[in-house]
Amino acid sequence: MESYKTKGVCSSEIQFEITDNIIQKVVFINGCPGNALGVARLVKGLTLQEAISRLKGIDCRGRGTSCPDQLAKAFEAYLIK
């Protein structure tokens, strides 16, 4: 399982599994459990690029980022590894 340390949001880390560019599993550590679980289920089965295009740039209360945006950043970081 891959891991990404978040910045500027309530969740502290995102863990995820990718197989052949398809999202298999996402787990948010801390943060809002209901929203995190919802986002995790919605991206399951998507390609990384599709999830990034849907989530990137979502803002939470003027923070300049959000848990979905941090997930997009995690996927982008995974792609450039």
Q: Are strands 2-5 and 11-19 parallel, antiparallel or unpaired?
A: antiparallel
Q: What is the pTM of this model?
A: 0.96
Question: What's the confidence (pLDDT) of residue 37?
Answer: 95
Q: Mean pLDDT of all residues in the chain?
A: 97
Domain boundaries defined on the chain:
2-80
Q: Is the dihedral of CA 11, 18, 48, 51 positive or negative?
A: negative
Is the domain spanning 2-80 CATH 3.30.390? The answer is yes
For the stretch 19-48, pLDDT in tens is 999 999 999 999 999 999 999 999 999 999
Question: What's the confidence (pLDDT) of residue 81?
Answer: 84
Q: Which of left, alpha, beta for 52 (phi over 0: left; psi -120 to 50: alpha)?
A: alpha
